[in-house]
Amino acid sequence: MEASWNPDPSGKHQFRYWNGSDWTEWVANDGVQAVDPIVIPPPPTATTTHASQAVSSSPPPPTASSTLGPGLQIPSCGSGRRLSSTRPPFMCATTLAGVLNVHSPTPYRHMEPLTPATIVSQGGHGTPLVARACSYGDDKYLFLFWNMPNGGSEIGFFALGGEDRLTTPLIGQWKQADASLSSIGRIDGAKIFLLPPQVGYQYFTETLDLAGKAHSEANIAFLIDQTSFLFRIKAQGFVEAIAGSSSAARFMHDLPQGTDVDTPAIILQALGNWDTGIIPYLQDLPWRIRGIQLEDPGGKWDELDPAP
């Protein structure tokens, strides 16, 4: 069973994080993340509440500084539009990706127009089969795809920057590509919560695969160092743009200074704790950084061990 948020087997909390091999102390209730150790029960079932394809090999990391507070106030998705299609979820997502490639292509060749989103779904909606985030112009959106008994899809469409952005040409363009797509009302996303993206070992091996490089120890070590450096640069930019250079300097000082496979996840978690309002804008950051790395790697990349 891969790393994911799952119903807490102890019954004390709504969700507990399974790191791929053990239950962790990380729990969540009504969108608030906290710590509560547990006596290890059996592993979770195959049903997961973690929607991202890039899962972490470790639990959600602690905050970068104790001043950031004991838990993460996870933002909910609010109200969204509800759509349906006769196409199954993955086909729906593929069609949408094609529309985005035409009307709002990403700036990098190796960045997909739809990137995995990390959510916790509560209430009556259940866990979507597919969860994806995208940019359309200057706006960011979340799409959740549920599998329907007839083989089609029910879709939740949420504007990550506010409900006023739900009226967009994107849906009309998507309907032109999928004649079966129709609007069927509104969807309440108050119990659908966004988490900072989970970035772990798989993220690095996938990047090496795209670059045609081997999963050697030296390659992984190089990639972790370069990726962590880029995450630090992006984090500093986020904080400086919102709160100024002094706050950015304090934030960077509070981050752990070492570098390992968990460093990007720690930085993302720290950003979410620092300002929960930016969690929606973090959803595509790992994939944007990957796109930057692979756009024109050169230099040290040329010296990496090639894939067999």
Enter the pTM of the model.
0.76
Residue type, 72: L
Say if strands 119-121 and 130-136 run parallel, antiparallel, or are unpaired. unpaired
The model's pLDDT over 162-218, given as tens digits with 9 standing for 90+, comes to: 788 899 999 999 999 999 999 999 999 888 888 888 888 999 999 999 999 999 999
Looking at the structure of the chain, the number of domains it has is: 2
Query: What pLDDT does 68 receive?
Result: 29
State the DSSP string of the chain. --SEEEE-TTSSSSEEEE-SSSEEEEEEETTEEEE------PPP-S--S---SS--SSPPPPPSSGGG-SS-BPPEEEEEEEEEESS-HHHHHHHHHHHHHHHS--SSTTS-SSEE--EEE-TTS---SEEEEEEETTEEEEEEEEEPTTS-EEEEEEETT-GGG---HHHHHHHHH-TT-EEEEEEEEEEEEE------HHHHHHHHHHHTB---HHHHHHHHHHHHHHHHHHHHHHHHHHH-HHHHHHHHHHS----STTHHHHHHHHHHHH-GGGHHHHTTHHHHHHHHHHHS--GGGGGSPBP-
152 and 82 share a domain? yes
128 and 232 share a domain? no
Would you state the structure tokens that stand for residue 122, as one six-digit string? Answer: 């509560």
134 and 168 share a domain? yes
The model's pLDDT over 214-268, given as tens digits with 9 standing for 90+, comes to: 999 999 999 999 999 999 999 999 999 999 999 999 999 999 888 999 999 999 9
187 and 204 share a domain? no
126 and 213 share a domain? no
Q: How far apart are the first and last CA of the chain?
A: 28
Query: What pLDDT does 50 receive?
Result: 37
Residue 14 resides in a domain: no
CATH number at residue 190: 3.30.310
Q: Which domain holds residue 133?
A: 76-194
Residue 35 resides in a domain: no
Residue 298: how many other CB atoms lie within 10 Å: 7
160 and 207 share a domain? no
CA distance 39 to 185: 44
92 and 155 share a domain? yes
